[in-house]
A = this chain, B = another copy of it.
C-alpha cells in the first residue's frame, strides 16, 4: 500500500436508497471511515445517494449536493466508482444494477428478492463485465454466510444447509413454545412489536424463507436455484398442541429452510419441523437467525445472528463494499462466483424423513388396527403411538421411522377417509435426530 498515493485510496460510493439500510450505512461510513482506511487501505466517500423524494427530512446528515432523485444519473456519474443497491424489489433495482455492471462498476446489493429471482442473470452480467457483484446482505442480514460458504469452505463438499432464516416466524414459534401462546396470539404479538407486517403472508407462509433458501442452495452448491424451485410450507397450521407434543417428545418446532446435495440433484424446501432440543438450531430464539452447515470434512458448522434490521444489514453491505473497493484499487476481483449451472431439482416426494402426525378419531375397537393397516400398506413404519383423550374426542399421535414423503402423504390421505377418523391433524417432519 505504500506505493499508493492518498488520492488513489479514495473510492466514490453511490447509494441507491436511503432508508432502513442506507441510513445506517452512511452513518457507519462516517463513524468508521478512518478505521477502514487504516485497516483496509481504502477511503470510502459517499458521493451520491438516490432517493425518491429529496425534500423528505432525513435522520442522517449528508453534504449538500449528495442527495439526488435521479438514480440512473447516479449510476452513470463518473464520481461513482461503486454502486450500492438498497432499494429492494425487482425493478428498478435490476435495471440499475445491470446498467452499473455494464459500465464496469462493481455492485453491492442487499436485495434478497432480486438475487433469488434474477441472480443467475446478474451473476452472468458481472462475469461478462469482469467486476464484483457482492450480496452478503441479501440473505440472513448481518450473519456472515456467503463469504464463509464460498471462500472458507472453497475446498469442502457441502452436504446440507439447514437454516432458520425468517425472524418473524421464529419469534412466533418461540412465543408459542415459551409462553404457550396460540399461533394467532403470537402473530398478533409479533405484529404489535413490528416484527410482522399487517399482511404477514410472506413470512408465515414461508415465501421469504423460500427466497433465502434458493440463495443458500445456489451459494452452497454452486448451482442455479430460484425461489420457484423451493417446496414451501408455512407455519399457519402449527398448533399449540403440536408444540406441547414436541416438548414431551424432546423436540422444538422451527421453520426450517433445508437445501441438500443428493449427488447430481438438489432438494430445497421450507417447512416447519421438529428438531431435538440438543440440536444447535433449537437454541435459536426470538427473531434471531442461524444457518447450520454439514460438510463431509468440516463436520457441523453454525452461523448465528441478526437476520434482519438496518444496523446488521448495513454492516454486511459495508463488509462487501470494503471488499469491492479493495479489489477495485488492486485491480483484482473478489469472490468469483463461477458458473451457476442449472441442476435437477429433486422431487420432494422422493425425500425421506421421520414424520409426526396427529389423527382425530372416535375411540372405538379396531380404529388403531385400521389406521395401522394403512401405514403398513404404504410401508410407513411406526416408531411410537400415543393416545390422548377418550371417546369421540380421542387424538392419536404417531411418530414414524424414516419414510418417503410421497408414501406418507398417500398414507395420511387414506387414513383420512377411514370411517372412524374425524380428520388428519398435523403433519410435521422430525429432523436432525439421526433417525
Q: Which residues of A are interface residues toward B (Cβ below 8 A)?
A: 1, 24, 28-29, 31-32, 35-36, 38-41, 136, 142-144, 147-148, 150-157, 222, 278, 280, 282-285, 288, 290, 295-306, 309, 311-312, 314-316, 318-319, 321-323, 326-327, 330-333, 336, 338-339
Contacts and interface: CB of A to CB of B under 8 A. Distances in A.
B297 A305 contact: no
12 contacts: A35-B157, A40-B338, A136-B152, A144-B303, A156-B318, A278-B283, A296-B311, A297-B315, A302-B305, A303-B304, A326-B336, A331-B331
A388 B157 CA distance: 54
Contacts of A40: 154, 336, 338
Contact of A144 (B142, B301, B316): B301
A119 to B, nearest CB: 16
In order of increasing CB-CB distance, the 7 nearest A-B pairs are A332-B332, A155-B318, A144-B152, A283-B283, A144-B148, A301-B305, A302-B304
Contacts of A39: 150, 154, 222, 336, 338
A84 to B, nearest CB: 12
Contacts of A144: 144, 147-148, 151-153, 301, 303
Nearest to A283: B283
Nearest to A317: B155
Nearest to A40: B154
B299 A306 contact: yes
A338 B282 CA distance: 39
A190 to B, nearest CB: 18
A319 B151 contact: yes
A306 B298 contact: yes
Nearest to A178: B278
A217 to B, nearest CB: 15
Contacts of A285: 278
B336 A41 contact: yes
Chain copies in the assembly? 2
A135 B124 CA distance: 32
Nearest to A292: B304
Contacts of A282: 283
A154 B36 contact: yes
Given A332-B327, A333-B330, A336-B326, A301 B142 contact: yes
B323 A143 contact: no
Contact of A152 (B29, B157, B278, B319): B319
A7 to B, nearest CB: 19
Contacts of A326: 336
Contacts of A284: 280
Contacts of A152: 136, 144, 147, 315-316, 319
Contacts of A323: 151, 154
A331 B331 CA distance: 9
Given A144-B144, A336-B39, A302 B299 contact: no
A426 to B, nearest CB: 26
Nearest to A143: B301
A311 B283 contact: no
Contacts of A309: 299
A328 to B, nearest CB: 11
A150 B38 CA distance: 13
Nearest to A29: B155
Contacts of A336: 1, 39-41, 326
A302 B278 CA distance: 17
Contacts of A318: 154-156
Nearest to A286: B278
